[in-house]
Structure 1
Amino acid sequence: MDILDLDAHAQADALARRQFSAHDLMQATLARIDAINPVVNAIVSLQDPDALLAQARAADAAEREGWLHGIPIAIKDLANAAGLPTSQGSPLFAGQIAQSDDLMVARLRAAGAIVIGKTNTPEFGLGSHTYNPVHGRTRNPFDPSRSAGGSSGGAAAALATRMLSVADGSDMMGSLRNPAGWNNVYGMRPSWGTVPPSPEGDMFLHQLSTAGPMARSPTDLAMLLDTMTGPDPRLPLCQHSHACAPTIAEDPGALRIGWAGDWGGAFAVEEGIMTFSENALRQLESMGHHVAALKAPFDADAMWQSWCDLRSFAVAGGLADIYDDPARRDALKEAAQWEVGRGVALGARQIQQASEIRSDWMRAATALFQKIDVMVLPSAQLWPLDGTLDFPKRIAGRAMDTYHRWMQVVIPASLIGLPVVNIPCGFNDDGLPGGLQLIGPRGSNARLLQLAQQWHVETLWPQTRPPEV
């Protein structure tokens, strides 16, 4: 078997048994990147191959540091990895070299990972479509004319094409879910606070985004999540969490699954998405779970207004200094200028009202999860979109009034920090992948991973390789 077809935990086991070397794995990885990356453009800022091979030889000669010892990984280009550029997809930061690792990256290195480069992302991670003026467009491996999704589109495409066996990502508005669904892999947004951010800047107000793992198997999701997690004394809101990998193979039992569909018609959904999703739900039912349709458990318009205000408030917090500088504002893409313009115009009362709506939804969701164990939604409201578009302007005849309205389906989990695992569910008649969001109450990371593992054993969808591979 091609060693690049192995999941990361299988690679780790083979390395520990010296069935092949880290040097062998790095050679194979670099050869795959050389062959495939020109097609999909997923890996950016790749480091010097000779230097990477030298690091792999050093790993072979050293004592094992952790389960990732000798395994190549590329970091999403929103996070800092010492010695590598962190462009964030923006010309304003192109070529800027990180002086230190972000906390999550430091933990991956401490587990033995070899950082080979970065994975592509939209500018500042805004938009579920990976393209930017620094590194260009990431293409979908199953149809290079289509989008790989975003903002972790580079990571998802690299996993699908076997350029990486495991990857980090981040998720504010579906960035670990949409690209996972569109690339036939797994992505997990853990409960907010499970993976601590770096202790920089504001550490209290902006509770929308989180880092998380992506992989071709739930076991790898669990192992990478366990590596990323753990409280940091400098951070006030991170949570203690139990390791998920040791229990990944446990039977989650017969779960009560609530199918939220298109949220009572509130979400515009492309033809075929609902039928595709319901076919997967029937398979979950055949595995012993009870599936029932849900009425919309909260007002979608109120949720959307809360989300837009809190998201703009958060984006403005990070980019307002650039926006306020006339010499640099025009370097921001239109979506970023729109977000910051909204954010700086918000008053305290509007922000408070947005947070109160979020609190109301949290109370409603808590009550809902007394009746069900898992809520299910599609990973995205449409199939992978035309890669030449900036965003879809209409879905099912309904106009999209913002650059991100087409990803409204991810808001129920994002707004209140619920854990979500995207599971790949196969392909439509055009060969395009899709997935489902498995959403649980806060703190249910382990149970969602057990359900995803049960699904994986039944389906093995990520073993279906893209045509280029």
Structure 2
Amino acid sequence: MSADQALVQATACAIVDRLRTGEVTPLDLLDVLERRISEVDGPVNALPIQCFDRARTRARALMQKPVGGRGLLAGMPIPIKDLTNVEGVRTTQGSPIYRDNVAARSDLLVEHLEDNGGVIYAKSNTPEFGAGANTFNEVFGATRNPWDLSRSAAGSSGGAAVALATGMAWLAHGTDMGGSLRNPASFCGIVGLRPSIGRVAHSPAFKIDRNLTVHGPMARNVEDLALLLDAMSGEHQADPLSLPLLPTSFLSAARSGQRPKRVAYSPDLGITPVDPEVATITRKAALRFAETGAIVEEAHPDLREAHECFHVLRAFDFAISKAALLRSKRDQLKPEVIWNIEEGLKLSVEQLERAEAQRVAMTARTLEFFGTYDLLLTPATIVAPFPVENRYVAECAGHQFDNYVEWLGIVYAITLVCCPALSLPCGFTASGLPVGLQMVAAPRGEAQLLAGAKLLEDILGLRGTTPIDPRPGKQVKP
């Protein structure tokens, strides 16, 4: 590996430090990334849209400012998930309907990142409209897992996770409704965080208080994740739910050494089957919190209504955001998206009333739970990375799922109760595939969550496992 390509292995925090000292420039980093993408993206298909000319123009403009005026990221390149608008760049949402769509204006999240010194150079692949936890679409095809190219990268932020795992990004943006930051992080051996509602401002669409989906950071380690969360955070008047910056940075919180006193582990939250090997790996990792002096017990809040509640609220979200497309472009929508929309259009007010009441009740019980426990730990996904040809997980541990999202219950239950949650690499299966541990804190508890994650990351010793070159799997077809 050449000297400049050795930068691929560096942490994001180290890269930003070098940007601030002038040891490297944003243009240097873009050159490194463009070369790295040419070397490794072919087999994995993580960054199908690239905008290096735009990025270099932005980088040169940023370099005209004094180093101290270049924002928190100081010129760090970042890919944006292809559900989110970047001005002058294709935004397809993974849909044939928007195959040639070029965004006229950036989402305010992108504007905020650019104001903070981020340089956008690519769009990461996503399932159509982010629907489903396997990243494939009819516009760009499937994104493959670099640990085994025959396997799924999960989704819907699959392209972002793979870009990080293969050294095509130091930091990456994603979104999460039912685990879309956490599942691909788990499958790809990196870290992904779903923040609290309002922590990251974004442009409202279809509904002002639409809050099942949030934007969040992805990185290769906890400190880098905290750095990007700092750069993403802050209120904006265009997003009425957005929260103000906290007085202490999330990076400082991650490095604080703050230790949890009592930690709960649950293999299934009482609501889902789980692969026995995944349960064993995640339980072993969770128990290592005892090395910090924490009490570790098996417990979870009562989330028994999660499946019914999420099914209704997700369907309602698809109805309000995609019903017009169903009426005018039905033939261009994938079956899962059609099903989601139609489920939403069939809902009654009574069903919505019941689902919202269930969400309130589950959230109240979860808050009470966090009166006893500082952190809740579970598997981030209930299975190891599955064959990429499978559209979704249909069965686990002998249980047949009713629909294509039910296997995600262990993450969408946490979405419903408004908690920040991340996936931390915690081990590997016997076949060498990554497994992620979901770590959850009380609402708005990102600082405590990041501190705990950094402690466990240090104990587990898996930091630095990525980036890797893509690895052919035994099941790859010729």
The bucket for the TM-score relative to the shorter chain is over 0.9
Q: Confirm or deny: 8 A CA contact 2:87 2:106 kept in the other structure.
A: yes
Aligned position for 1:249:
255
Aligned position for 2:83:
78
Aligned position for 2:326:
323
Aligned position for 2:391:
390
Q: Tell me how far 1:59 sits from its aligned partner.
A: 4.1
Q: Tell me how far 1:70 sits from its aligned partner.
A: 2.4
Q: Confirm or deny: 8 A CA contact 2:93 2:128 kept in the other structure.
A: yes
What residue ranges of structure 2 are gaps of 5+ in the alignment?
Answer: 472-478
Aligned position for 1:435:
436
Q: Which amino acid letter does the alignment assign opposite residue 63 of structure 1?
A: P
- Give the distance between the partners of 2:238 and 2:18, measured in 1 at CA: 37
Q: Confirm or deny: 8 A CA contact 1:184 1:461 kept in the other structure.
A: no
* Identical residues among aligned pairs (%): 34
Q: Which amino acid letter does the alignment assign opposite residue 468 of structure 1?
A: P
Aligned position for 1:118:
123
Q: Tell me how far 1:406 sits from its aligned partner.
A: 1.2
Q: Confirm or deny: 8 A CA contact 2:58 2:119 kept in the other structure.
A: yes
* TM-score between both structures, scaled by the size of structure 2: 0.93
Q: Which amino acid letter does the alignment assign opposite residue 376 of structure 1?
A: L
Q: Tell me how far 1:398 sits from its aligned partner.
A: 1.1
Aligned position for 2:465:
464
- Give the distance between the partners of 2:48 and 2:208, measured in 1 at CA: 29
Q: Confirm or deny: 8 A CA contact 2:182 2:192 kept in the other structure.
A: yes
Report the secondary structure of 1:144's partner residue.
Answer: coil
Q: Tell me how far 1:63 sits from its aligned partner.
A: 2.6
1:236-292 alpha-carbon deviations (Å, 9 max, x no partner): 32223413223321122243111121133x312123011111110122222322110
Aligned position for 1:138:
143
- Give the distance between the partners of 2:432 and 2:196, measured in 1 at CA: 32
Aligned position for 2:446:
445
* TM-score between both structures, scaled by the size of structure 1: 0.95
- Which is worse superposed, 132-141 or 239-248? 239-248
Write out aligned runs for 1:288-437 (5 A): 288-294=293-299, 296-300=300-304, 302-325=305-328, 328-437=329-438
Report the secondary structure of 2:97's partner residue.
Answer: coil
Aligned position for 2:96:
91
1:233–1:181 distance in 2 versus 1, CA, 3 Å? same
- Give the distance between the partners of 2:303 and 2:106, measured in 1 at CA: 41
What residue ranges of structure 1 are gaps of 5+ in the alignment?
Answer: none
- Give the distance between the partners of 2:254 and 2:301, measured in 1 at CA: 30
Q: Tell me how far 1:171 sits from its aligned partner.
A: 0.4
Q: Confirm or deny: 8 A CA contact 1:23 1:60 kept in the other structure.
A: no
Q: Which amino acid letter does the alignment assign opposite residue 442 of structure 1?
A: P
Matched residue pairs, number?
Answer: 462
Q: Tell me how far 1:60 sits from its aligned partner.
A: 4.0
Matched, 1:153 2:158: yes
1:414-453 alpha-carbon deviations (Å, 9 max, x no partner): 0122111211112111110011111111111101011112
Matched, 1:259 2:265: yes
Q: Tell me how far 1:380 sits from its aligned partner.
A: 0.2
- Give the distance between the partners of 2:205 and 2:363, measured in 1 at CA: 27
Q: Confirm or deny: 8 A CA contact 2:177 2:412 kept in the other structure.
A: no
Q: Tell me how far 1:366 sits from its aligned partner.
A: 1.3
Q: Confirm or deny: 8 A CA contact 1:27 1:53 kept in the other structure.
A: no
1:254–1:415 distance in 2 versus 1, CA, 3 Å? closer
- Give the distance between the partners of 2:50 and 2:267, measured in 1 at CA: 40
Write out aligned runs for 1:149-228 (5 A): 149-204=154-209, 206-228=210-232
Q: Confirm or deny: 8 A CA contact 2:285 2:460 kept in the other structure.
A: no
Aligned position for 1:29:
33
2:287 maps to which of 266, 277, 282: 282
Q: Which amino acid letter does the alignment assign opposite residue 225 of structure 1?
A: L
- Give the distance between the partners of 1:101 and 1:171, measured in 2 at CA: 19
- Give the distance between the partners of 2:259 and 2:297, measured in 1 at CA: 17
Report the RMSD for the aligned CA atoms in angstroms. 1.7
Report the secondary structure of 1:155's partner residue.
Answer: helix
Q: Confirm or deny: 8 A CA contact 1:130 1:150 kept in the other structure.
A: yes
1:18–1:241 distance in 2 versus 1, CA, 3 Å? closer
